[in-house]
Amino acid sequence: MNSTTPTAITTAGFVTNSTTPTAKTIAAFARKSTTPTANTTAGFATSSTTSTPSTTVGFARNSTSPPVHVTTGSVTKSTTTTAITTAGSIKNSTTPAAKGATVSPTTPRPKPATPIPTLSTSVSPVTPSPNAEFALAMSFKILLTFDQDLANSSSLKFKSLKTEMEAILTANYKNLNGFVRVYVIRFRSGSVITDFVLEANSVSPTEIATMNSKVAVDLQAQGYSVDRSSFGGVVQGNQPFIKNYDIIYPGTTLQLTCVVPVTMQMGTGSWSVNGLPVSNNAKYSITNSPPTLTVQDMSGDDSGIYTFTMTQSTLTFTRTESISVTDVVPPIIQLNMLATNVPCGANENIPLECCVTYYLIKNITAKWMDGSVEIPSVQTTTNMLCVSAAYPVPKQCNTKELTCQVIVKKASTTQTFTDDVTLMFFSGATNCDDTTYGAGMNGNTATVLCPASFTGNRTAVCENGNWNLQEDNCVFSPIVTLALFSENLSSTNVSSFVNDLKTTTTSFKSSITQSSATISSIVNILDNTAKVSENLSKTSMQDVLETVSILVSPQTQQSWAGLNSNNRTQSTSSTLLESIENITHGLSSNSFTISTTNIQLIKTTLTFPFNEILNSSQVFIPSQGLPNNTTITTIVFTTLDFVLPARTTGNSMNNSINGIVMLAYINETINNVSLTFDKTNKTKGNNQCVFWNFKLFEGTGGWDSTGCQLDSETNVSVTCSCNHLTSFSILMSPFVPESIEVALNYITYIGVGISMGCLVLCLIIEAFVWKVVTKNSTSHMRHVTVVNIALSLLIANIWFIIGAAVSNVGQSTPEKACSAATFFIHFFYLALFFWMLISALFLFYRTMMVFSHMSKSTMMAIAFSVGYGAPLIIAIITIVVTAPKNGYFRQDDACWLNWYQTKALLAFVIPALTIVIVNLFILIVILFKLLMRGVGENRQSEEKNALVVIARCVAVLTPFFGITWGLGIGTMVAPANPGIHITFSIFNSLQGFFILVFGTLLDSKIRSAVVGRFSFLRSLSSRTRSTSAGPSLSSLAERFRRRRQNVFASDSSTSLRASEAFISA
């Protein structure tokens, strides 16, 4: 054979234009292969570029995987391991392996539908048309002696006959409905067998049979003798089986439906599993129209290749797929009892039964153990393995535990699973006795197996002669399998899994709605699903909501009452709501709407103002500064009034939900939302707007009214507005961590109140001592800057409060009012910074320009031009540029500059930070200049004075100009850092206090002036005192004040003294 590697066998297929490992082909055609080949039978793969595809009954076309080289009768110089492919057809495949069944060397293979001897040959590569729906592998026999030149695609005889045959075939088959093209693949021996491909978008056996006859006639007319009965073809199914489960779990009933072309549905079909035909029996059930195979109680032994074949006229339709049962589900152990009561000393045996469900029954063993001693037992095997034992009542009546031990054997390991039965003995008369829970005395408990179709246990207590059910942990068995699978769920199979979950819940609705434990188990499944959901499609979300719709249907009301009243399960309703919310986080970006019986979902792109009318509700979001293409997902639940308990943070026990429940999610911060709900009970009063807080009651969840208020109410509806309070850190950062919002709000408003009081006091003091402290130009300018800084900050704070009041109304913020508030806040905050700049520049001028002198009027003109002129220009430009775009103010908290849409906030940030940097630079230069001075007779005194000046600069100028707004930068760089936000809010909101302390109270001249103002009253009181008491405090203060006035009275003071006087402020 001249082959150096293993090859594989493929049934019913042929391969063309292949460049990858090749296969042996039976009744097939191979063309121009340049790589090792795979074995193929009566089918074909073309234009393939993947490695060794494993295909069942298939035809791979337009594939980006390495193609397959086909040899007939032998494998030519194959040097790589090849794939096993069985008669399949895959279109437009881009995956490494074509979808179909892989046949292992030991697995029986279906026989070819039309076995035809093949011969190795090669022909020119031909790529099928990408727009063809079907590709039929066809052949016919010309009664001529085969010439070996016909096996050589480059020979003149081959080319001539190929051209002649294609002309005749095209002339006839082009009249077929949906015809695309026809081409000859090769010629084979056995007379001259012509293999060709017919591509079409529909398949009609009758039409093809008619055209076959016409081809034979035309060939006869051209002098070719044709065997008319030799015409035949195979069409591969191009649609996968329709399955009731995408993931096949042990114990499930599988349904496979084959999609057959409409024109071939009148033929006779048959099914085979792993090459063996199947018929109607206890395991398999076959129905037609459409052809469907039902397989009961799937297990690992049922994994393999499933093939459907249908023959009509000269055409054979076939579809083959690989079906496998998942192996990630552990064995399910069911005991006939978990805890039972036995009369002490009874002369009887205790019946024990342990049944195990597993997808590979032959791989498990089970036994009963009493400690380390095996209890004699009997095994029976049907669709599960059961181990039964009769355990005699021991002489010593001590509580005893017996164990069912299950061992699972795998390829290289074994796993052991156990479950225990507790035997409890009692002495005395029996009070309770029935066939389900056995015997017992009052107060005894018994735990037994669930009824058929359920897994778990039920616990009852003997009370007053009857067993009363205390706890029901029975879960519907198919849900148990899904729950076990969900523990290892990955994002790649979420779509298939939620479809299976929906199918199960809808198919067994009555069994699920009446079982609290089953509902709780499905909620846990949804919670596991939410953890791995990514980019979920509309179809998958529809499956999720169909499942949830059953969980919250009116039929579940009694089950939810039991769950909510049980301390162990009372968080189930909260988990359900949180799971749905988390799943919405992983939805795809597309907009769509989903409606089920009890739920409505709308996912759409936000356009402001946003106004959406839903089922019995409405949501309104005013214009927000959010990025483009921001999406919002809203879900309305109409039946959660009995699912979510009415527990709240208050003490009322008579609360009830009086409307629908709405879930809204957006991946941005929205702080101004208006919600309108129709009342369920229109006679109720004292309605309260609440939201579900998952953290309340130690994570159990409950209704919370924090941040929401009732805005308006009519006889039929309630409108709620939910807002978060404003904090100053929003001025610098669009984000405020939710965990510190409350703390920031308190810090902000308490700080603003203190700040405004301090600013007013500062201005009063300045006015009180103005004439005394402004007798020279240096001192005059220093106090002018302090007054204007204080005034600007005071007015900015007033407008900030106005802006917060304007925007905090729960409806669309009034545009004109908020624009005015934003403008004046912006203007006066900028003025604050520019007056800070004036202070620094004047200090720089008086320190560095020793011999320069500027008149007071000139300095005042420059100061007011820069201090108010520059901020006014910036504020006007900002509103002119951004207002036409509806992007001037934010509206989400207090009125403030927009960030997301127009970046208007930069008109404040850039000037403010620039001034901070300039002031810090000036501070460094001044400090360096003062330290380097060496003028003066007393060197030691000058050094001491320099240290004092440096200390005063660091203590006053740095906090005043740098620290506060430097922290503002931090809130933008690290928006999630709560420490930066809190520190910035404290410094920022208390700036008025800083100005009062460092700008006024620490100024010795001001303190002296205040003392001087009250010196008259103090001198009067001193006259009544004894002169022997010595000089009064007021007289000493007066002397000190006068001395200070003499020192700073003249404008001709040295530059150094002027600088010191300014720094002392």
Residue 382 has a CB neighbour count (10 Å cut-off) of: 9
Report the SS3 class of residue 732. Answer: coil
User: What are the tens digits of pLDDT across the range 599-642?
Assistant: 989 888 877 778 888 777 888 887 777 777 788 888 888 888 88
Alpha helices by DSSP H, listed for 508-614, are 509-513, 516-532, 538-551, 557-565, 572-585
**What is the rounded distance in angstroms from the CA atom of residue 80 to the CA atom of residue 36?**
6
Give 235's strand partners.
136, 317
The DSSP secondary structure of 326-382, one letter per residue, reads ---SPPEEEESEEEEEEETT-SSEEEEEEEEE-S-GGGEEEEEEETTEEEP-EEEES
**What is the rounded distance in angstroms from the CA atom of residue 321 to the CA atom of residue 99?**
7
**Burial degree of 646 (CB within 10 A; 0-12, 13-18, 19+):** middle
Q: How many residues in total does the chain contain?
A: 1065
DSSP state of 106: T
**What is the rounded distance in angstroms from the CA atom of residue 948 to the CA atom of residue 946?**
5
Q: What sign does the dihedral 977-983-987-989 (CA atoms) show?
A: positive
- pLDDT recorded at residue 962: 60
**What is the rounded distance in angstroms from the CA atom of residue 313 to the CA atom of residue 288?**
19
**What is the rounded distance in angstroms from the CA atom of residue 684 to the CA atom of residue 717?**
11
- pLDDT recorded at residue 252: 80
Q: For residue 1003, give the nearest of 1054, 1050, 951, 956 by alpha carbon.
A: 956
User: Global pTM?
Assistant: 0.46
- pLDDT recorded at residue 488: 82
Cα dihedral value 775, 781, 787, 792, nearest 10: 160
**What is the rounded distance in angstroms from the CA atom of residue 686 to the CA atom of residue 395?**
68
Q: Evaluate whether 109 touches 86 at the Cβ level (below 8 Å).
A: yes
Residue type, 503: T
Report the SS3 class of residue 877. Answer: helix
Spatial neighbors of 821 by CB under 8 A, at least 6 apart, are 799, 800, 802, 803, 806, 889, 894, 895
DSSP state of 93: -
Q: Evaluate whether 69 touches 75 at the Cβ level (below 8 Å).
A: no
Q: Evaluate whether 157 touches 107 at the Cβ level (below 8 Å).
A: no
**Which positions of the chain have pLDDT values less than 50?**
1-128, 651-653, 684, 724-735, 809-812, 891-892, 934-951, 953-955, 957, 1016-1017, 1020-1021, 1023-1065
Secondary structure element (H or E) that encloses residue 789, with its range: helix 777-807
Residue type, 549: S
How far lies 270's CA from each of 43, 116, 801, 955, in Å? Answer: 19, 21, 81, 94
- pLDDT recorded at residue 966: 66
Residue 104 has a CB neighbour count (10 Å cut-off) of: 10
Cα dihedral value 264, 268, 273, 275, nearest 10: -100
Rounded to 5 degrees, φ, ψ at 638 are -95, -10
**Cα 864 to the chain's mean position, in Å?**
55
**What is the rounded distance in angstroms from the CA atom of residue 626 to the CA atom of residue 584?**
20
Q: Evaluate whether 78 touches 7 at the Cβ level (below 8 Å).
A: yes
